[in-house]
Amino acid sequence: MTLTARPEQRRDEHVPGDNDMWVMVLGDMIIFAGYFIVFMIYRSMHAREFLAAQEHLDVNIGVVNTVILLTSSWFVVRAVTAARAGRSAQAIRLVYGGGLGGVLFMALKGYEWVAKIRAGHGNSEMFYSFYYVVTGVHLIHVLIGLIVLGTVVRELRNPGRRRATVVESGAIYWHMVDLLWVIIFALFYVMR
C-alpha cells in the first residue's frame, strides 16, 4: 500500500512534510545562524587564538563524521522514495540505516570530546567553549533526530497509517541535522 494521498496541490510543486515541521526547521536554522554569527564575531576578535586552537581538532574524525551524516541522509532520502512507492519494509530498513549513521556520529563525537578534554582543551579556551556548546547542541539535535526517525519507523510499520506527511517531516528534520553539521564542519574544522 502506498502512502495515503495528500490533499490536492499543484502538480509541479508541493511542500514536503507538514508546515509545523517547517516552522521547526526554519526556526532552528535561524537560531543556529545566530550561534554561527556570534561565533564568527568572537573569532574575528581573537583570530590568532582561534586558529591555533583549531589546529588541534581532529579533522580526520571531522571528515569521517561528515561523510557518515551525509550518507545517513542519503539513506533517508531513499527511504522516503521507497515509502512513497509502497515498499514499506525496504523503507524501514533504510531508515534504520540512517539511524545507524546517527548513532555512529554520536559515538565518534563522544570519542572526540573525550580525547580533546584529556589533551587539556577544555572550556577555558574560548574556541573550545564554542566548540563544545555548538557541537553539543547539535548532538542533542541528532539525538532528537533518532527519536524522530523512530516515529517514522513506527508510522511505516502500521499499515493503517503510513502518512506521507509524517515520513517526509521526519526526513526533513534529519536533513536539517545534516545541513547544520556541514556548516559546523566548515566553520570549525576547515576555515582559516
Partner 1 sequence: MDTTGSASGQRAATWAWLTLVVITIGSWWLSPAHSGGTALPSAPITAVVLLLAIIKSRLIIRYFMEVRDAPRWLRHSTDAWLAVLFAAIFVIYLI
Partner 2 sequence: MSRVDDAAGAAGGEGARQSGRRMLRRTPDGVKPDVWLMTLFFPAWYAVFGVIICLLTRVTPPPRPDVTAADKVAFFTQHHLTIQIGFTLLLILLGGAAMTNGLVGYQMKRMSVGSVFAYGYIGGMSVGALPGFLLVTVCFLTAAFRPDRDPALISLLYDLGMLSYNGSLGCFTAAYLVLAVAILYDKNNVFPKWFSYVSIWQIITEVIATQMFVFASGPFSWNGSIAFWLAVVVFSVWLGALIVLLRGAARQEPVTAPALA
Give the interface with partner 1 as residue ranges (CB under 8 A).
2-3, 5-6, 10, 12-16, 22, 26, 29-30, 33, 36-37, 40-41, 43-44, 47-48, 51-52, 54-60, 62-63, 66-67, 70-71, 73-74, 76-78, 81, 84-85, 164, 168, 171-172, 175-176, 178-179, 182-183, 185-187, 189-192
Please report, as ranges, the residues that interact with partner 2 according to CB under 8 A. 18-21, 23-24, 27-28, 31, 34-35, 38, 42, 123, 126, 129-130, 133, 136-137, 140, 144
Q: Closest CB to partner 1 among 155 and 178? A: 178
Q: How far is the CB of 29 from partner 1 (least distance, A)?
A: 6
Residue appearing with cell numbers 508510522: 155
158 binds, among partner 1, partner 2, none (CB under 5 to 8 A by kind): none
Torsion of the alpha carbons at 176, 27, 24 and 172, rounded to the nearest 10 = -20
Q: How far is the CB of 46 from partner 2 (least distance, A)?
A: 10
Long-range contacts of 85-94 (CB under 8 A, 24+ apart): 85/2, 86/1, 86/2, 86/3, 88/1, 88/156, 88/157, 88/159, 88/162, 91/156, 91/167, 92/153, 92/156, 92/157
Q: Which amino acid is at 11?
A: R
Residues forming a β-bridge with 4: 163
Torsion of the alpha carbons at 119, 122, 126 and 132, rounded to the nearest 10 = 110
Q: How far is the CB of 38 from partner 2 (least distance, A)?
A: 5
